[in-house]
Amino acid sequence: MSRPAASADIFQAIADPTRRALLDRLCNGEQSVKQLAEPFEMSMPAISQHLHILCEAGLVSQRKVGRQRLYRLNPEPLKEVSDWVNPYEQFWQEKLDALGKYLEENPCSET
């Protein structure tokens, strides 16, 4: 089953480590571009481009207060990512459970 084109934007948006870091920073609440850009060694226009992509994907919203733009996390679209990842998480949990069982049945002996 393929994803609709609009949802692919979410996956593309979070594929970039800078955009994921921006989302992490927005978990702490609404922030201006200047606040968001502080830890990054890149230009303000580059940060603005990343924020634009996040806004287009619906992961971030913005509002204007005077001359300042404030950005806020919108986590709802990430549910689609979580839903997609969930079966793989179950797969790895089963593998870890099997490994735990194997280790209990075959204890390592120290020499």
pLDDT digits (tens, 9 = 90+) for 1-38: 444 444 458 999 999 999 999 999 999 999 999 999 99
Which candidate, 59, 82, 61, 73, places its Cα nearest to that of 13? 59
The total number of structural domains in the chain stands at 1
What is the per-residue pLDDT for 6?
47
Q: Give domain status of residue 90, yes or no.
A: no
The owner of tokens 């949990």 is 93
Asked which of 19-23, 39-43, 45-49, 103-107 is least confident by mean pLDDT, the reply is 103-107
**Per-residue model confidence as pLDDT tens digits over 60-98:** 999 999 999 999 999 999 999 999 988 888 888 888 888
Q: Give domain status of residue 44, yes or no.
A: yes
Q: Give domain status of residue 102, yes or no.
A: no
Higher-pLDDT residue of 73 and 99 is 73
Domain residues for the domain of 63 are 5-77
User: What is the edge-to-edge ordering of all strands in the sheet holding 31-32?
Assistant: 31-32, 68-73, 60-65
